[in-house]
Amino acid sequence: MIQRNGRELDIDIGNKHFAIQRRYEAFGAFNDLLIAIWFLIGSFFFLNDALIESGTWLFIVGSAQLLLKPSIKLTGLVHVSRVQQRVQKQRVQKQRVQKQCVQKQRVQNN
């Protein structure tokens, strides 16, 4: 189903869209969990002078993972967009074939 909502065009691609979106959301949530773990452990490491360097490295790892957050989001959006384009092309192609069949039938009937 294709719907026009203001300037956006919503194309229903069924379960594929939701499955893809859920995978990226799950991956993003797992990334967020790891970030929280690194920062929490790093914070505890700062309480012990012998572990301050390790705590610093955990903060660096957590900060680097913060860079992954927008990358995961953008990758998911691009993936869904490509699937939508592919489905739209397939629908257009199917409509063309159907029109050609109808035209052939009309010519044969005349």
Express each pLDDT in 86-106 by its tens digit.
Answer: 888 888 888 888 888 888 888
- Residues contacting 6, CB < 8 A, separation 6+: none
Distance CA 50, CA 62 (A): 20
Confidence of residue 3 (pLDDT cuts 50, 70, 90): very low
Place of tokens 């065009």: 9
Distance CA 61, CA 65 (A): 6
The whole-model pTM stands at 0.65
Least confident of 6-10, 40-44, 54-58: 6-10
Residue type, 96: R
